[in-house]
Structure 1
Amino acid sequence: MKLIRFLLFPFAIVYDFITRLRNFLFDINVLKSTSFDIPVIAVGNLTVGGTGKTPQIEYLIRLLKDQYKITVLSRGYKRKTKGFQLLNDKHSAEDVGDEPLQFYSKFDGIHVAVDADRTNGITELQKQIQPEIVLLDDAYQHRKVKAGFYILLTKYNDLYINDFLLPTGNLRESRSGANRADIVVVTKCPNELSIEEQESIRLKLKLNGNQVLFFSKIEYNQELKGNVNPLTLDSLEEEVVLVTGIANPISLLEYLKERKVNYTHIKYPDHHHFSAQDIEGIKTAQSRLETERKIVLTTEKDYVRLKGKVDNLYYLEIHNSFFNQEKAFASRILEFVEG
């Protein structure tokens, strides 16, 4: 794999030129960005997948939903529908994408929509429901919309400064794109992250004076949720079938090992649409468990795609947590929203 990526280095140079030119044309207004008269917060990254955008969006929803009329707008990755869709109870993950459906199913009192054209999406939202705040999911490179506030995520063990552009590396654009961020969040940090290491990362990132750096970690709920009676991780003494269709399940695997959960892992690609054959494969693995409950454990994102297709299905809920900076982060967001 490393040899292939090295051989693709010339293509990375071309890709770098194209993305830099595109950003420059937006910066000098040759390519037009549309601004809106309501607070628009964009959450995204410089790399391809796996930085924790979903728990970050959910954190913002929890922070703002009781005070403001919130809408989450996503492109709806791998959905089968086209154009603008305002989610309702009849939509499936195949219709609108797994993450938008997860937001819609999880939070009361918010709206969720999908549209690959975010400018059109916000325009439609203003016509139909008049949101007070729009959260743009995975829209850091969608420069046709000029968000009022940008949150850039970078993973602790895969910082964007240590990466290179596609196809040699995983960067969607040059590292200089980080300059557009108002906040940079180092995500998926280990539980024990020292002040000294935080300062070391801060020096490496070399943020400008207007940017603020935060550190966050993923925390797992102890209760397993699903379509049958709730369970706790501590009660899982028997082997389970673990099904994942996310970009990087390593953190989950390590956590389950720490909790001494015995599992058989069936891994699928990120945002995988489970076919009838896939479901049969999961059920076969489930039937081979030498236990009475025959539990299938999955992620929350995968649960919205597997719900109703597999019996004894549970998911492990996660949430975002900041290192002694929760109030400071909330203050920055509320300062922007309140103008």
Structure 2
Amino acid sequence: MVKTYKSLYPLAWLYGLGVRLRNALFDCGVLRSVSFPLPVICVGNLTVGGTGKTPHTEYLIRLLTASGMHTGVLSRGYKRKSKGFLWADAGIPMEQIGDEPFQMKSKFPDIRLAVDADRPHGIRCMTAPEVTPPLDVILLDDAYQHRYVKAGLNILLTDYRRPIYEDALLPAGRLREPLSGKSRADIVVVSKCPPRLSESEAEAIRQRLCLEEKQSLFFSTLRYGDLHPFDGPTDATRPLSSLTEDTPVLVLTGIASPDKLLHDLQGYTRRISSLRFPDHHQFTDGDAETINRRFAEAGAGTLLLTTEKDATRLHHLPLSDEVKRNLYILPIEVDILFGERPVFNQKILDYVGTYSRDNRLPA
């Protein structure tokens, strides 16, 4: 059962009143949503953090680029130290664009990635005549509530462990807007599901979501890749299956919801401890001292595991040589359950295929 704070429900009611008014102003046209003459796909959620937006966005990047699409990604660049529109060019520091955009650009150097809190302005910059080759599609990362852009396809994520129908509005829960906001979604994905989710449980979730007939529902799970050394040859990987039940592992995270990761790692080793920091935490030299000390206390043979997102914020730290030698990055990818990957992929490609580059007008 999702934990909410009943004492904060009056404040949540006031917050919800403001959000409902804002949505009503968009719905009646007082606040204007801008459309663009190319496919725009929004990936987002109703809650604050932790639903797996980045791995799902990366899934779409793989799908679209494999289909020959010139793909762009626009993010606000949460907690970046820059302002306005900025291209994520090669060699740009993580601090200038944010950890998640930096992670995506590092993994997919051929995509055009930019950051801008003003999404309409960002799209105009990305589709300017001087941008060559012209983009075929733009992915909006974490922009479900940014209604100043009218995306052609909205993908809404909800965490299997914290479904939106059991949550409450901020600050009593984690909902950014009322549950009715799900009606704007074209596709709903229940993320972070167990890989062997039963069809009966999936059907129970479907019933509780109460989606409209026009909305498609999919279930996704996380799939882990080989461990990559933090400070070593990029080809010196080791399979996650190389862990034994007696391998001591210290998991270092600065993400919103590490519980799913910790739970899954228990399938490989029973000796797991964790060192948690807040989501998007900007690590300091003091944090490095804590990491070095905790790793030394963990004992010989311990592996230190972290996520790709966290790794982007660790490189500047004075980590000990011992920590660097034993620190591994755990890649995370998304898989669609119940054999529906082809169906999901086709829905994305069908939407993008409705646009013809030759028929587009300047934004």
Same fold (TM over 0.5): yes
Structure 1 residue 13, shift from structure 2 partner: 1.1
Asked if 1:337 is matched to 2:352, the reply is yes
CA distance in 1, matches of 2:20, 2:176: 11
CA distance in 2, matches of 1:206, 1:257: 34
Between the two proteins, the alignment pairs up a number of residues equal to 337
1:135-154 to 2 correspondences below 5 Å: 135-154=139-158
Q: 1:274 is aligned with what amino acid? A: F
Structure 1 residue 139, shift from structure 2 partner: 0.3
Match of 1:317 among 331, 335, 340: 331
- Residues 123-155 of structure 1 deviation map (CA, whole Å, 9 limit, x = unaligned): 111125232111000000000011110000001
CA distance in 1, matches of 2:342, 2:82: 39
Corresponding residue number in structure 2 for 1:298: 306
Q: 1:307 is aligned with what amino acid? A: H
TM-score (structure 2 length as normaliser): 0.88
Asked if 1:250 is matched to 2:259, the reply is yes
| Conservation of the 8 A alpha-carbon contact between 2:266 and 2:272 | no
Structure 1 residue 332, shift from structure 2 partner: 0.6
SS of the aligned residue for 2:225 comes to strand
| Conservation of the 8 A alpha-carbon contact between 1:43 and 1:138 | yes
Asked if 1:281 is matched to 2:314, the reply is no
- Name stretches of at least 5 consecutive residues in structure 2 with no aligned partner: 355-363
CA distance in 2, matches of 1:261, 1:3: 27
SS of the aligned residue for 2:224 comes to strand
Structure 1 residue 280, shift from structure 2 partner: 2.0
1:181-192 to 2 correspondences below 5 Å: 181-192=185-196
| Conservation of the 8 A alpha-carbon contact between 2:250 and 2:305 | yes
Q: 2:198 is aligned with what amino acid? A: S
1:82-231 to 2 correspondences below 5 Å: 82-127=83-128, 128-129=130-131, 130-228=134-232, 229-231=236-238
Q: 2:161 is aligned with what amino acid? A: N
Q: 2:77 is aligned with what amino acid? A: G
Q: 1:137 is aligned with what amino acid? A: D
- Residues 45-102 of structure 1 deviation map (CA, whole Å, 9 limit, x = unaligned): 0011111111100100000013111111111111111111101233222221111000
Percent of pairs with identical residues: 47
Point out the more displaced range, 15-24 or 306-315. 306-315
Q: 2:171 is aligned with what amino acid? A: P
Structure 1 residue 3, shift from structure 2 partner: 11
| Conservation of the 8 A alpha-carbon contact between 2:4 and 2:167 | no
| Conservation of the 8 A alpha-carbon contact between 1:225 and 1:317 | no
| Conservation of the 8 A alpha-carbon contact between 1:286 and 1:296 | yes
| Conservation of the 8 A alpha-carbon contact between 1:96 and 1:114 | yes
1:15-54 to 2 correspondences below 5 Å: 15-54=15-54
- Residues 264-300 of structure 1 deviation map (CA, whole Å, 9 limit, x = unaligned): 42110001110111112212223344326x6431011
